[in-house]
Structure 1
Amino acid sequence: MSFHDIRFPANLSFGSVGGPERRTDIVSLTSGHEERNTPWAHSRRRYDAGVGMRSLDDLEALVAFFEARQGQLYGFRWKDWSDFKSCRPSKKPGEDDQVIGTGDGQKTQFQLVKRYRSGPAEYARPIVKPVAGTVIVAVQSTPMREGVHFEIDTSTGLVSLDTAPPEGSVVTAGFEFDVPVRFDTNRIQTSVASFQAGQAPDVPVVEVRL
C-alpha cells in the first residue's frame, strides 16, 4: 500500500481526540440471549486532527502536509500522545517492558507487540511503526546492542537478532511507536479568525492495516 514514512507534525496532533474502535456483530435470539462475534482480530484507531485556534503558520503546515499526502491517497505516521510507549505513559521504556517471543534455537526474527491486560484477558497489538533509535531489546534479561546484536526494521517492527536465542529464553523489548494512518477525508476546511490565527475544526484520521 502507498505509505509515506513521515510523521504528522507532533505539535499539531497534541490535544487531538481519538482512540481504538472494535467491530462486533450482535445477533439477538428469540430467547433474549445474544450471540456476539467479531470479524476483526485487531482494533482500529481513529483520531480527529482538527486544530482549534492556531497560528497561520500552523495552518499552513497542516495544509502542506495534507497536500503532500494527496488527501487520502498516502498513509503516514501519527503520534498518539495517550499511547506511544511500550510502558506506562509516566515511565521510560525499558528492555523488559514487553515479551515479544520465546527462543527455539532457530528463530531470529521477532515482531514487536504491545500487550494490553485487564484481569485474565489480554490483547497483543502488533507494533509496525516503531520510532527509530528508541528500540531496546533483551534476551533472558541480558541487554542487546542495536547494530551489534540486533537490527530493527522501523517500517515493519521486525527485530532481527544476529544469533538465534536458546530454546526457552524469553525475548523482551521496550520502544516508542507511531500509528500508521491516513486522512479520512479528501477535503480540509480552514478559517481565519484574525490576522495572526485561524482554525481547522475537522480533520479525521483513521488507522490503516499494513
Structure 2
Amino acid sequence: MSSFHDVSFPLPLAFGANGGPIRQTEIITLANGQEQRNTAQANSRRRYDAGVGVKSLEDMQTLIAFFEARRGQLHGFRFRDPMDHKVDGEIGTGDGLTTEFQLSKAYADVAGSWQRNITKPKAGTLIIKLGTTLTVAFNVDNTTGKIVFNTPPVSGVVIGAAFEFDVPVRFDTDQLMTSLESFGAGGAVHVPLIEINTNA
C-alpha cells in the first residue's frame, strides 16, 4: 500500500531544482469571441525537476539510494522548494472557542488572493503570535500542519505564524535514466517530482 515517508529529499539536490505551481484552467471561446474561463480544481499543484542538482557521481548515488528507498513512485516524501519555503503571516482569528488551526500561506494582491494549506512544516521553526505577543502554549503536528492551543485564543485576536515548510511530493516516474557521460557533457538528469495531497 502506498504511504508517506516523513523524510526529506537531499537538500543539496533540491537547491538546484526548478519548477513551481500548476493551475488547470478550462477556456471556452464563445461565438462572439469572448472567453469563458473556469478552474478545473480549487488548488494549484506543484511540479519540479530535481535533476539539475545532480552534479557528480556522488550526487547520483545519493539520488539512486533515495529513489530505491521510496520504491519509485510508491511512497511520498518531503521536498524543500528552493523558491518558496517560508511563511510569515496570519493563519486565522480567534473566536474564544476554537483551539485548532491549520497552518497556511496567503498569496494575495489588491485584485485577488489564495490561501494554501501547509501540511509539512519544518520541525523547530514555528513561531506563533497572538496579536503582538509570542506564545508557546500550543502543540503542532508537523505531519499535518495543524496547531492546537492549550486554551482558545480570545475573540478577535489575530493569530500570526512564521515558519519554514516542505512540500509533500512523490517521484513522477518509476525509472531513473542515469549516465556517467552526462556529467562531462554538462547534461542534466531528469528527476520529475509531483505534489501529493497527504491529508486526503
Kindly report which structure 2 residues correspond to 1:160-199, keeping only aligned pairs within 5 A, or say none: 160-193=148-181
Residue pair 1:59, 1:199 contacting (<8 A) in 2 also: no
Aligned partner of 2:193 in structure 1 is 205
- List alignment gaps of at least 5 residues for structure 1: 87-96
Aligned partner of 1:64 in structure 2 is 65
Q: Of 101, 118, 126, which aligns to 1:127? A: 118
For normalisation by structure 2, the TM-score amounts to 0.93
Aligned partner of 1:37 in structure 2 is 38
Residue pair 2:95, 2:156 contacting (<8 A) in 1 also: yes
Structure 1: distance between partners of 2:124 and 2:118: 15
Residue pair 1:56, 1:198 contacting (<8 A) in 2 also: no
Number of residue equivalences: 197
Kindly provide the amino acid, as one letter, of the partner of residue 49 in structure 1.
A
Kindly provide the amino acid, as one letter, of the partner of residue 3 in structure 2.
S
Change over 3 Å in CA distance of 1:25–1:150 after alignment to 2 = same
Aligned partner of 1:115 in structure 2 is 106
What is the RMSD of the two structures over their aligned residues, measured on CA atoms?
2.0
Structure 1: distance between partners of 2:46 and 2:5: 18
Change over 3 Å in CA distance of 1:53–1:111 after alignment to 2 = closer
Change over 3 Å in CA distance of 1:2–1:157 after alignment to 2 = same
Aligned partner of 2:129 in structure 1 is 138
Change over 3 Å in CA distance of 1:9–1:197 after alignment to 2 = farther
Q: Secondary structure of the residue that 2:86 maps to in structure 1?
A: coil
Residue pair 2:3, 2:75 contacting (<8 A) in 1 also: yes
The offset of 1:6, in angstroms, is 0.5
Residue pair 1:103, 1:170 contacting (<8 A) in 2 also: yes
**Structure with a larger share of its residues in helix:** 2
Structure 2: distance between partners of 1:101 and 1:197: 51
Change over 3 Å in CA distance of 1:71–1:140 after alignment to 2 = same
Structure 2: distance between partners of 1:191 and 1:120: 48
Residue pair 1:27, 1:35 contacting (<8 A) in 2 also: yes
Residue pair 2:6, 2:78 contacting (<8 A) in 1 also: yes
Residue pair 1:188, 1:203 contacting (<8 A) in 2 also: yes
- List alignment gaps of at least 5 residues for structure 2: none
The offset of 1:197, in angstroms, is 11
Residue pair 2:72, 2:175 contacting (<8 A) in 1 also: yes
Residue pair 2:15, 2:53 contacting (<8 A) in 1 also: no
